[in-house]
Structure 1
Amino acid sequence: MRGNEFAELQAFVCITEQGSFVRAAERLQVSPSALSQTIKGLEARLGVRLFHRTTRRVGMTQAGERLLKRLKPAFAEIESAITDTTELGEQPRGKLRLHTFRVGYQLYLEPLLAAFAETCPEIELDLTLDDHPVDMIESGFDGAIRLGELLEQDMVAIPLGPMLRHCVVASPDYVARYGKPRTPSELHQHRCINWRWPGQIHPYQWEFQRDSGWFRVAVNGPLIVNDLRAMLDAAVNGVGIAFSVEAWATPLIREGRLVTMLEPWCAPFDGFYFCYPRQRHHLAAMRAFIDFLKQHVR
């Protein structure tokens, strides 16, 4: 591939990231007209149109979407190769883009950030806290913290802790006013706080286990949130009953701000892992981060 052809592809990706020719031109430090000519040259070479252009917006054609889907992981790998080459010095350096569920971040990563920054001052962690599982390679992430049941195939996975357990909780005031459900089916008679998994239309159904195996209960109540912390806060404030990871709710339970219920139906499940694509392990920054996790996470 000749240099100008690679520059055309870089310009194409930059436009998709910035959402406009003007912003992309500013990022690439060229004029909008020059950038437009570059894309016209790329489209002429490929024999297809890549963008729908109007006076208000820029949208990709089907050909453009297909090209971007293949280019993003390729460009990420090129960036990783360059980063890996520059990391051959004694001190690991560079940026690690990590995707982490909010609970996993609070339990396993947040307590270690200061120590990691002290141990590896030349490594920059770019963290995305999001409970929506993403395709790491397509999205350009180097690694992720997620539940065992959501691990992708062909990923290296390092357990961060023991199995987890759900718990059903409410404030003492709520229990004094409405009592406790004795079985999961009695939740239908209570005010429950629903949580919607990001990207889903319907709220998450609460999961329980008995001798016959796992089963789900769809609950109803006055509130639906898309943030687990907000659900716990609402429970503390007496809005209703919440369904949480026990390790996250434990401090509030110890303080007496929440009380538990339905304990016999709440069984352990696979916990959090740090996972990453196999080809990312060779990065010096990634090796340093993994070694740090293995040393400090129990």
Structure 2
Amino acid sequence: MLNDELSDLANFAAVADARSFTRAAAKLGKSQSALSQSVRRLEERLKQRLLTRTTRSVMPTPAGEQLLSTLRPALGEIEAQLNALSELRELPSGSLRLTAGRHAVETVLWPALLRLNTRYPDIKVEVSIEPALTDIVIEQYDAGVRRGEQIARDMIALRIGPDLRMVVVGCPAYLAEHGIPVEPQDLTHHRCCNIRLPTSGGLYAWEFERDGRSVTVNVDGPFVLNDMRLLIDAALHGAGLAIVLEDMVAPFTADGRLVRVLEDWSPPISGYHLYYPNRRHPSPAFAALLKELRANSHL
């Protein structure tokens, strides 16, 4: 089979799996028009419509599904063989696409990737910083990083960071004027800067626990934000109380610019995990990433 025919088949499979010419083009590093021409050329050669195109998505036709049932295993085997050959190289190479929230990237993932780059300079990594949960299969990512309880059960999860803790803070001037909350319910009488949840779009109900007792409080205040740096800045400027990750606010509590309240109501929460679909033949690049994260998780 000619090279262009193999390329057309691979392009068709990429578009069908991504359900989008845009996502497939981003993954393959090609233009949307080039992919469209490639699929159209394949359809003309087979005299069959393989994809149904709508304004929102792309779906395989029955003929396309039949072709994919044969094509996916064949392409998977080719990829596995190429990966096996690349393992014979002295150093791993290849590309990785990862998604994670900003805090996870800055505290856990990015340091590991810098070490990986030093050790294996031929590995190329794309990182997409996204606050919302992402379907890594549909979006064609190799893996994602999220807290343990956020990961779907059908994913493989590798813990790569320690437990986290959400803490409530306010500046001394605000606390002097409004008082210090002693119980979580006291927050209903305070100005609280809240978080807009990236996945559901709803407001975060502040969660607390002490001695096995869990309490959830719906708060109100002058700001609703989806960035913890802005929440910290609001608290520093006396806008109200904020609930943020402990390590992000540590420099400000250490020098007294912010004060922690309800400290005994702040239990640890699960730390960051790398999650990914089941892989029978992980690429050398992905295997190197897993090895780097395992070796430096310090758990």
Aligned with 2:22 (options 13, 18, 28): 18
Q: Indicate if the aligned counterparts of 1:165 and 1:246 stay in contact, CA closer than 8 A.
A: yes
Q: How many residues align?
A: 280
Report matched runs for 1:17-166 at 5 Å: 17-18=21-22, 24-25=32-33, 27-28=34-35, 38=41, 41=44, 45-46=48-49, 50-52=52-54, 58-60=55-57, 81=80, 84-85=83-84, 87-88=86-87, 89-166=89-166
* Deviation readout 1:85-135 (Å, 9 max, x if unpaired): 563211111111111122222221233443322112111221112222222
- Aligned counterparts of 1:135 and 1:262: Cα–Cα separation in 2: 36
- Which residue is 1:184 aligned to? 184
Distance apart, 1:242 and its partner CA: 1.0
Task: Tell me the amino acid that sits aligned with residue 84 of structure 1.
Answer: N
Q: Report the TM-score when normalising by structure 1.
A: 0.78
Task: Tell me the amino acid that sits aligned with residue 52 of structure 2.
Answer: L
3-state SS of the aligned residue for 2:90? Answer: coil
Distance apart, 1:147 and its partner CA: 0.8
- Aligned counterparts of 1:253 and 1:142: Cα–Cα separation in 2: 38
3-state SS of the aligned residue for 2:291? Answer: helix
- Aligned counterparts of 1:227 and 1:280: Cα–Cα separation in 2: 37
- Which residue is 2:229 aligned to? 229
- Aligned counterparts of 1:40 and 1:170: Cα–Cα separation in 2: 63
* Deviation readout 1:146-168 (Å, 9 max, x if unpaired): 11111222433222233222211
Task: Tell me the amino acid that sits aligned with residue 235 of structure 1.
Answer: A
* Deviation readout 1:228-278 (Å, 9 max, x if unpaired): 232223222322211112122222322323210001211122221222223
Q: Indicate if the aligned counterparts of 1:192 and 1:220 stay in contact, CA closer than 8 A.
A: yes
Query: Measured at CA, do residues 280 and 173 of structure 1 come closer, stay the same or move farther in structure 2, by a change above 3 Å?
Result: farther
- Aligned counterparts of 1:241 and 1:80: Cα–Cα separation in 2: 53
- Aligned counterparts of 2:79 and 2:254: Cα–Cα separation in 1: 45
- Which residue is 1:7 aligned to? 8
Q: Indicate if the aligned counterparts of 1:87 and 1:285 stay in contact, CA closer than 8 A.
A: no
- Aligned counterparts of 2:284 and 2:56: Cα–Cα separation in 1: 38
Deviates more, 1:185-194 or 1:113-122: 113-122
Deviates more, 1:210-219 or 1:177-186: 210-219
- Aligned counterparts of 1:260 and 1:240: Cα–Cα separation in 2: 13
- Aligned counterparts of 2:292 and 2:277: Cα–Cα separation in 1: 18
Q: Indicate if the aligned counterparts of 1:96 and 1:125 stay in contact, CA closer than 8 A.
A: yes
- Which residue is 1:55 aligned to? none
- Aligned counterparts of 2:136 and 2:76: Cα–Cα separation in 1: 12
- Aligned counterparts of 2:45 and 2:228: Cα–Cα separation in 1: 46
Task: Tell me the amino acid that sits aligned with residue 207 of structure 2.
Answer: E
Q: Report the TM-score when normalising by structure 2.
A: 0.78
3-state SS of the aligned residue for 1:124? Answer: strand
- Aligned counterparts of 1:16 and 1:98: Cα–Cα separation in 2: 19
Q: Indicate if the aligned counterparts of 1:164 and 1:269 stay in contact, CA closer than 8 A.
A: yes
* Deviation readout 1:150-193 (Å, 9 max, x if unpaired): 12224332222332222111222322332221111111111111
- Aligned counterparts of 1:82 and 1:124: Cα–Cα separation in 2: 20
Query: Is there any run of 5+ residues in structure 2 with no aligned partner, and where?
Result: 24-30
Q: CA RMSD in A?
A: 3.6
- Aligned counterparts of 1:42 and 1:190: Cα–Cα separation in 2: 69
- Aligned counterparts of 1:187 and 1:110: Cα–Cα separation in 2: 36
Task: Tell me the amino acid that sits aligned with residue 137 of structure 1.
Answer: V
3-state SS of the aligned residue for 1:188? Answer: helix
Q: Indicate if the aligned counterparts of 1:8 and 1:38 stay in contact, CA closer than 8 A.
A: no
Q: Indicate if the aligned counterparts of 1:8 and 1:42 stay in contact, CA closer than 8 A.
A: no
Q: Indicate if the aligned counterparts of 2:8 and 2:42 stay in contact, CA closer than 8 A.
A: no
Distance apart, 1:219 and its partner CA: 0.9
- Aligned counterparts of 1:190 and 1:241: Cα–Cα separation in 2: 7
Q: Indicate if the aligned counterparts of 2:83 and 2:283 stay in contact, CA closer than 8 A.
A: yes
Query: Measured at CA, do residues 7 and 234 of structure 1 come closer, stay the same or move farther in structure 2, by a change above 3 Å?
Result: same
- Aligned counterparts of 2:186 and 2:133: Cα–Cα separation in 1: 32
Percent identity between matched residues is 29
Query: Measured at CA, do residues 102 and 63 of structure 1 come closer, stay the same or move farther in structure 2, by a change above 3 Å?
Result: same
* Deviation readout 1:187-225 (Å, 9 max, x if unpaired): 111111111121323211111113453232111111111
